[in-house]
Amino acid sequence: MRTGADVTAARAALHEQWDALRRWVDQVGDAELAAAPSVLDGWTVGELWAHLGRALEALTVCTSAPAGAAPLSLREYLGSYAAGAAEIAETTRRLAAEQAADPVGAVDRSARAAFARLDELGPGDPVVRARRGPVRLSTMIVSRVVELVVHADDLLLSVRRAHGTDTVPDPVHPGALRLVADELLAIVVARGGWDLEVADARTWVRLAAGRVPYDVDVLADALHPRYTSDAVPDLGRMLPLL
């Protein structure tokens, strides 16, 4: 298994996922929908959308790290979210309220600033200082793809529930989904040493992100052993990763 996406692949996935989300919002967005409860407890659809702007803004505030700074791994960076959950929720609600008059435009502006900052930081893979510590630029970009993919899926389920139909289009970009699935599996493999591959990327990402309850049968649908003589290990103590 590869050790991680490079900057070029991560940037491409981030662009693709953002573009897919932006087109989707034009298709399904409306003012009434913003107030509907999302599938994340305590968050509205509008707050979930505002959070995407905050997630992209994390790229905008990246600066060059001091020489010799030891970068966090993707596992370490994603693992730092839990400690800041209350702050993330509070900031998200404040942003949603501030941006209520033009929520799509506000996140558009965050996206433009984020991609402009990426152009300034690249094209190499330097260590950058992010909100939660020093990371490789590639790791930081991948973490943003994780945010956009996971929350695009949250938005899909939220809007389908609000409309009472499964016909709402899917905002998750297949290539970005696959990158996230592979990156999250790489975290698991690095910790346990198993030889696994992704069988169902959507199910695996939902399990790894804690969006569906852990179940060994669901896991067996999401991941397969690379060799038929092996079995999928019980990952109940390791999941969710987010």
Is residue 34 included in any domain, yes or no? yes
**Does the residue 132 lie in any domain?**
yes
pLDDT digits (tens, 9 = 90+) for 169-219: 999 999 999 999 999 999 999 999 999 999 999 999 999 999 999 999 999
Q: Is residue 52 in some structural domain?
A: yes
Does residue 143 form part of some domain?
yes
Confidence (pLDDT) at 184? 98
Residue 4 pLDDT more than 80?
no
pLDDT for residue 5 is more than 60: yes
Distance of CA 239 to the CA centre of its chain: 16
- The pLDDT value given to residue 202: 98
- pLDDT confidence bin for 2, thresholds 50/70/90: very low
**120 within domain boundaries:** yes
Is 70 part of a structural domain of the chain? yes
| pLDDT (mean) for 124-130 | 96
pLDDT at residue 41 is higher than 70: yes
Report whether 118 contacts 11 (CB < 8 A).
yes
pLDDT tier at 81, thresholds 50, 70, 90: confident
Mean pLDDT of 31-48: 93
Three-class SS of 203-229: HHHHHHCCCCCCCHHHHHHHEEECCCC
Q: How far apart are CA 44 and CA 46, in angstroms?
A: 5
Environment class of 161 (CB within 10 Å of its CB; exposed 0-12, middle 13-18, buried 19+):
middle
Instruction: Give a yes or no: residue 189 inside a domain.
Output: no
- What CATH number does residue 19 fall under? 1.20.120
Q: What's the 3-state SS for 25-50?
A: HHHHCCHHHHCCECCCCCCEHHHHHH
Would you say residue 49 lies in a domain? yes
For residue 83, pLDDT over 90 is answered with no
CB atoms within 10 A of CB 200: 15
Crossing angle of helices 103-121 and 7-28, in 10° steps, is 170
* Segments forming the whole domain that contains residue 139: 7-168
Domain count, the chain: 1
